[in-house]
Structure 1
Amino acid sequence: MFQKCEGIVIRSTPYGESNKIITLFTREFGKMALMARGARKPNSRLSAITQLLFCGQFLFQQSRGLGTLQQGESIHSFKEIREDLFKTAYSSYLAELLDKGTEESKVNPYLYELFYQTLDYIDEGYDATILTNIFEMKMLQVIGLRPELNQCVNCGSKEGRFAFSIRENGLLCHRCFELDPYLLPVSQATVKLLRLFYYIDLRRLGSISVKPQTKKELRTVLSMYYDEYSGLFLKSRKFLEEIEKMQSMLGPSSKEGD
């Protein structure tokens, strides 16, 4: 039985001497794995369409076990991502986060659109660091994590200065700082952005200009939170951290969108 789907390759693994097993995140079927026979051969018609982040329409043969990829046609080349080391690093990290944070065959058209839109914005030159933060915040809901971002997690106050507490799973107001000696004393700009990123409709994203110190605080909060609660180990995280260090030394390398 042959079926079609729209999807993006989020993992590509060698199998045997000439084959690959690819993992697609699709609009119609959620996450699914397919065997791509002969895809590792240089002249294979499946070679290009089984590359990481290939976005297209796929034709596959479904069976009781692993389905078999037959052919594919490109929808979006993400050319700028493929030609830029920084954009590739961020996009690969997002693909691994999506892969590790989702279950097989669980259909989620919204998440597919979010991933596609995020890659599209990175490709267009929007700030990849901020887009990564937004995607990470959105993925918290998929994983089942819900930090308190609207008020103090202890007393419920919405007024005053706030800091982020990993231990208490959310914001603490200045009256409750003593509850967590290890809380993260972030700026109020960081607090506002954490809340914004959690709720924002990415399709309505405009130009966002974020100071380097605020970006650093966002990365600290999100990295520590994921380490504490997600249970995910992402190999691409270390490489991305090295890229971010390099980026900070070179200065901003991407332009904000309009």
Structure 2
Amino acid sequence: MHASDRIRKVEAVVIAHKEYGEADRFVRIFTLQYGKLNTLAKGVRKMQSRKAAHLEPFTHAALVLAHGQTFWIITQAETVSAFPAIREDLDKTTDASYIMELVDKISTEGQAEPALFRLALESLKRINDNNDTYNIMRYFELRFLDIAGFRPELQHCVACKKEIQPEDQYFSPLQGGILCPQCGQMDNKAIAANQDTLRYLRHFQRSNYKSIENIQVPPKVRITLQRILGAYLASVLEWQLKTPAFQKQIRDETNRSA
């Protein structure tokens, strides 16, 4: 490795950290330039450490890394944005945890994924700045699915391939899209999706953040959208969320609509 390759300056978002030894921490970061990296912050748990505050989860930071024997070592850290509202609000914290967990799950060590980095960072900024994060989270999920290569089919039945008509349909998490009424009845895992639900799904899928900011999604549609996207993510990623964000939001929306 050339000397110039032993030092890296990166733009990063902190995914998580774990204590190591008496004074160090392992810090998992998602960088614009190199994707996910597992790094070591030496002495960061000492009282006099200046780096600790810059390496908390969700922090957007500028870092300097030095190549160590096993891990990249964080030698310098400066906060770009600490997203204070996320840290002070439990709902925002669970939303941010959900986003970073999805990023952690799909990203590959050392592989740059700039589109995913920009999506995650923009989502954290908007969660920090907005009280109602529902639209932000649904938009993130659909863009995340696009980037991951699992864009749901919303125009044609994924079973019979016929164009979807303006009537109530089903969504199949296993098949990755809308089922017409006839095909939906043959899929016992399919979720009923009325015309309003499909309309909002399509709108979120084709829009940008600015165009979905002020959309008022009806309470019952909110519940169904979350159920559909949560089930589809669980299906394509073959895992269950560790963070309680999805389950908590379902509970909250159910209570509001009761």
Q: Same fold (TM over 0.5)?
A: yes
Q: Tell whether the 8 Å contact from 1:59 to 1:69 is kept in structure 2 after alignment.
A: yes
What is the letter of the counterpart of residue 205 of structure 2?
Y
Q: Tell whether the 8 Å contact from 1:150 to 1:158 is kept in structure 2 after alignment.
A: yes
Q: Tell whether the 8 Å contact from 1:102 to 1:143 is kept in structure 2 after alignment.
A: no
Partner of 1:75: 80
Q: C-alpha separation between the residues in 1 aligned to 2:240 and 2:44?
A: 28
Residues 1:245 and 2:251 are matched in the alignment = yes
Relative to structure 1, the CA distance from residue 176 to residue 245 in structure 2 (aligned partners, 3 Å threshold; closer, same or farther) is: closer
Shift, 1:175, TM fit: 4.2
Q: C-alpha separation between the residues in 2 aligned to 1:177 and 1:240?
A: 25
Secondary structure of 2:185 counterpart: helix
Unpaired runs of 5+ in structure 1? 253-258
Partner of 1:198: 205
Percent of aligned pairs sharing the same letter: 28
Partner of 1:145: 150
Partner of 1:157: 163
Q: 2:40 aligns with which of 25, 31, 35?
A: 35
What is the letter of the counterpart of residue 174 of structure 1?
P
Relative to structure 1, the CA distance from residue 155 to residue 179 in structure 2 (aligned partners, 3 Å threshold; closer, same or farther) is: farther
Q: Tell whether the 8 Å contact from 1:160 to 1:174 is kept in structure 2 after alignment.
A: no
Partner of 2:3: none
Q: C-alpha separation between the residues in 1 aligned to 2:84 and 2:211?
A: 23
Shift, 1:248, TM fit: 5.7
* Worse overlay, 204-213 or 10-19: 204-213
Q: C-alpha separation between the residues in 1 aligned to 2:248 and 2:99?
A: 16
Partner of 2:221: 214
* Worse overlay, 18-27 or 59-68: 59-68
Residues 1:171 and 2:178 are matched in the alignment = yes
Q: How does 1:15-164 map to 2 (within 5 A)?
A: 15-63=20-68, 65-125=70-130, 127-153=132-158, 154-161=160-167, 162-164=169-171
Q: Report the RMSD for the aligned CA atoms in angstroms.
A: 2.3
Q: C-alpha separation between the residues in 2 aligned to 1:148 and 1:204?
A: 21
Shift, 1:222, TM fit: 1.6
Shift, 1:106, TM fit: 1.6
Relative to structure 1, the CA distance from residue 110 to residue 57 in structure 2 (aligned partners, 3 Å threshold; closer, same or farther) is: same
Deviation by residue 1:17-49 (Cα, 9 ceiling, x = unmatched) = 221111111111111111001222233212111
TM-score for the superposition, normalised by structure 1? 0.87
What is the letter of the counterpart of residue 212 of structure 1?
P
* Worse overlay, 87-96 or 136-145: 136-145
Q: 1:232 aligns with which of 212, 221, 239?
A: 239
Q: Tell whether the 8 Å contact from 1:7 to 1:25 is kept in structure 2 after alignment.
A: yes
Q: C-alpha separation between the residues in 2 aligned to 1:47 and 1:127?
A: 30
Unpaired runs of 5+ in structure 2? 1-5
Q: Tell whether the 8 Å contact from 1:101 to 1:142 is kept in structure 2 after alignment.
A: no
RCO higher in structure (CA 8 A, sep ≥6) = 1
TM-score for the superposition, normalised by structure 2? 0.87
Q: Tell whether the 8 Å contact from 1:27 to 1:109 is kept in structure 2 after alignment.
A: yes
Q: C-alpha separation between the residues in 1 aligned to 2:187 and 2:202?
A: 20
Deviation by residue 1:117-152 (Cα, 9 ceiling, x = unmatched) = 111111111532221222122222333323311222
Q: C-alpha separation between the residues in 1 aligned to 2:210 and 2:110?
A: 25
What is the letter of the counterpart of residue 135 of structure 2?
I
